[in-house]
A and B are shown apart, each in its own frame.
Chain A
Amino acid sequence: MVNSSPNSTLLSADGTPLKKSLSRSLRQQKIRALLLISPLLIFILVAFIMPIVSMLSRSVENDLVSQTLPATVSAIQSWDALSGELPDELVYKAFAQDIQNAAKVKVHTKVALRLNYEKSGIASLFKKTARKAKKWDMETDGPFKEKLIKVHKGWGEVEVWQIIKTHSPRYTSGYFLNAIDMRKTAEGADFQPEDKTILIKLFQRTLVMSLIITFSCILLGYPVAWLLANLPMRQANLLMILVLLPFWTSLLVRTSAWKVMLQQQGVINDILVQLSLVSDDARLIMINNEIGTIVAMTHILLPFMILPMYSVMQTIPPSYLRAAKSLGATNWTAFWRVYFPQSIPGIGAGSILVFILAIGYYITPEIVGGTKGVFISNRIAYHILKSLNWGLAAALGTILLVAVLILYWTYDKIVGIDNVKLGG
């Protein structure tokens, strides 16, 4: 090893540069560490990162139209969608060719379903046309403009062609526009008609209710965490078991139990009626609405608030409170000026945890939420399982993810994520 500047490079005992021999000795360790974590790394990659990425890409992907109707897509580009006139024969011919090909391999139903999200009725239009088009001879049976309009008068509507053109690019913002109660039209983005707006309202409800749940958890959890941190070991352990008990019971069981408690013929209403606080014919409605969701979710998420708060409070020595009192502070001042500020990192950690869990919660709102208490996640599930509009579901999920990241970022700016402590 020749050294151009022997004075500036430190050498190890055998003459190689110190940096090189250091990295060589560390490489072995790094490889071993990597091997140890590799099963988890691969698992996370395959089972977590990849599904998320593929889901996110679905929210903008739109190759169904361009793949199924390639000739139409290229022909329609020269047509001015806002002219108010139908496309010319070239486009109709291209479309006839495309739909014939698609019908042969039976993929036309997919694109029909996709375009049906934009305007109901398109699905049947496609299906009917495909049935007829299978028998056409592309060389002789022209002109196709009249032929198609004869099959279904829908082909004489400018709007149908506008929809095809609007959704011909490989990537679309359509799903995201849908997700915020807008739609993509030939003229550009536009608001959905009044009767179809539901998602913005759901987003708002999800955020507001998650905030309410987070605050209820803070209010209920703080005294418990304080007790946990300050009781003698034996009592604290017992209390800890009570806090953790919900973790050992099935989520479904707990949620269903709330149904039993809160329903109109349920335990709470029965007691209120018996105490004559509520008359029998005016029993409180506490289930299948916002109240049910808030009560049940506060209960379920409470441990996620208590545990971070507890682990922070545990590190606050009791001598601080004593010091404050010896300096002349009343119990309240000592708590508020000395103890509380030091417990804020725990509240922050718990709040982030509870809020993020709440914003994406599905099972509990589904069971006790009725129609007024459901969250955006229930809508996502609906689009994945029932309407099969995965693109919209993906867009909704992406918005949710971004919203959480933005909240996280603002929290970091305001409080500082270094101040968040989950333990120690």
Chain B
Amino acid sequence: MAKDSQAEAFVRFNRVQKSYDGETLVVKDLNLEIPKGEFLTMLGPSGSGKTTCLMMLAGFETATHGDIMLNGVSINNIPPHKRGIGMVFQNYALFPHMTVAENLSFPLEVRKLEKSVREEKVARALDMVEMGGFKGRRPAQLSGGQQQRIALARALVFEPELVLMDEPLGALDKQLREKMQFEITALAHRLGITVVYVTHDQTEALTMSDRVAVFNDGRIQQLATPDQLYEEPENSFVAQFIGENNTLNGVVKELKSDIATVKLDSGDIIDCKPVNVSEVGERTQVSIRPERVELNKSKLPKKAHTLTAEVLEFIYMGDTFRTRLKVAGNEDFIVKTRNSSNQVRLKPGEKVEIGWSPECCRALDA
């Protein structure tokens, strides 16, 4: 099984480390396998090592230790221009002194393709991103979204099997960004290319990717599909980083296979699903999503522990209500409820009983 997956992996990071100054590791022991045709996103805060990983894959940085394999071959000593990897840069890096057509033709010229072939491929790539009419323009005459499409077309025009994207949508406004997110994923799936995408925007990561690698502190914290990542975070960093999250601190009192009883610092007792705890007496950070908190006691399973909460703030957001509560000493406990006809609207100062089903509440590392 392990051998099979190695053979399948199109891109493989094998125990890769990277240090710039010889004192600190920016990337610590990275192991990652990407099968052909996958859209993988590297997500993480700035300085987490995700861009360094991308640059090592592209060949602009060398790994201090370990191997990077492409198609089963180590590419550590192959210079970037021989790797045949397409790349879309953060600010597009379209050559300002060349027209759109010349920009697209550049990778074909350095591959010494014939003129007629070049023209045909350029035209096809431009049609692919619906920019057929912009051949003669200079990059400066294009809008941000148009430049983005040209950069994409240029990275694809020489038909690479692997395309790297370094925060390509960072400079666009929200609406355009959402449109481009959709277009890029659709294009990637249609062409069957493998994409490694770097971003710090979690929504982008969740909506676009087949799998997401969450980076922090030079390590992959969790590598999973978007829904797993959101619903089953494996540690408190991922839980905090992806989506909104309420945390409560406490000590494990009782530990069974699928349920852990935690005594919070305030003295309250709650039930959770044990994820990252292994023994009684261990400190833990309990994580629960705002939309999984139940205000209606009748919907809770029997014997479920409940907590008394004080309403601090009620925010009307149209389709949802956000209620800020004080729960077990935590004044930033958020509850999100849908705006339905029978939903209660709480007022500040009110006292309520809240609860949740134990499988929605995850006991993670402290």
Contact = CB atoms under 8 A, between A and B. Distances in A.
B110 A333 contact: yes
Interface stretch (B41-49, B89-97, B197-205): B89-97
A337 B93 contact: no
B247 to A, nearest CB: 39
Nearest to B55: A322
Nearest to A341: B97
Given A328-B110, A328-B111, A342 B91 contact: no
10 contacts: A320-B93, A322-B58, A322-B89, A323-B87, A324-B95, A326-B80, A327-B106, A327-B110, A330-B110, A342-B96
Contacts of A319: 89-91, 93
A327 B89 contact: no
Interface residues of A, number: 19
Contacts of A337: 106
A326 B94 CA distance: 12
Given A326-B80, A328-B84, A317 B110 contact: no
Contacts of A333: 110
Interface string B28-66: 000000000000000000000000000000111000000
B81 interface: yes
Interface in B92-125: 93, 95-97, 106-107, 110-111
Interface string B275-292: 000000000000000000
A329 interface: yes
| Secondary structure of the B contact surface, majority rule | loop
B86 interface: yes
Nearest to A342: B97
By CB atoms of chain A within 10 A, which of B87, B89, B106, B111 has the most? B106
A338 B89 contact: no
Given A322-B89, A328-B158, 20 more contacts: A322-B58, A323-B89, A323-B95, A325-B59, A325-B80, A325-B81, A326-B58, A326-B59, A326-B80, A326-B164, A327-B81, A327-B110, A327-B158, A328-B84, A328-B107, A328-B110, A328-B111, A341-B97, A342-B96, A342-B97
Contacts of A322: 58, 60, 80, 87, 89, 93
B96 A327 contact: no
A328 B105 CA distance: 12
Contacts, number: 65
Contact of B107 (A320, A327, A341, A342): A327
Given A333-B110, A337-B106, A326 B97 contact: no
Contacts of B96: 342
B91 A317 contact: yes
B295 interface: no
Contacts of A341: 97
Given A328-B84, A328-B111, A323 B93 contact: yes
Given A320-B95, A341-B97, A329 B89 contact: no
A319 B81 CA distance: 14
Contacts of A328: 81-82, 84, 107, 110-111, 158
Interface residues of B, number: 27
B197 to A, nearest CB: 15
Interface of A: 317, 319-320, 322-331, 333-334, 337-338, 341-342
B129 interface: no
A320 B98 CA distance: 12
Nearest to A337: B106
B18 interface: no
A338 to B, nearest CB: 6
A338 B89 CA distance: 16
By CB atoms of chain B within 10 A, which of A317, A322, A323, A325 has the most? A323
A84 to B, nearest CB: 68
B362 interface: no
B211 interface: no
Nearest to A320: B93
The 6 lowest CB-CB distance pairs between A and B, nearest first, are A327-B107, A323-B93, A326-B87, A319-B93, A325-B80, A329-B110
B239 to A, nearest CB: 34
B322 interface: no
B184 interface: no
Nearest to A338: B95
A326 B85 contact: yes
A344 to B, nearest CB: 9
B154 interface: yes
A225 B85 CA distance: 31
Nearest to B109: A337
Contacts of B58: 322, 326
A337 B85 CA distance: 20
Contact of B93 (A317, A329, A330, A331): A317
Contact of B154 (A320, A325, A327): A327
By CB atoms of chain A within 10 A, which of B85, B86, B110 has the most? B110
Contacts of A330: 81, 110
Contacts of B84: 328
Contacts of B154: 327
A38 B69 CA distance: 69
B110 A326 contact: no
A326 B95 CA distance: 13
Contacts of A342: 95-97
A171 to B, nearest CB: 50
A32 B58 CA distance: 57
A323 B111 CA distance: 15
Contacts of A338: 95
A331 B164 CA distance: 20
Contacts of B111: 328
A332 B55 CA distance: 21
Contacts of B97: 341-342
A320 B82 CA distance: 17
A337 B103 CA distance: 11
Contacts of A327: 81, 86, 106-107, 110, 154-155, 158
A331 to B, nearest CB: 8
A334 to B, nearest CB: 8
B70 to A, nearest CB: 14
A58 B323 CA distance: 88
Contacts of B89: 319, 322-323
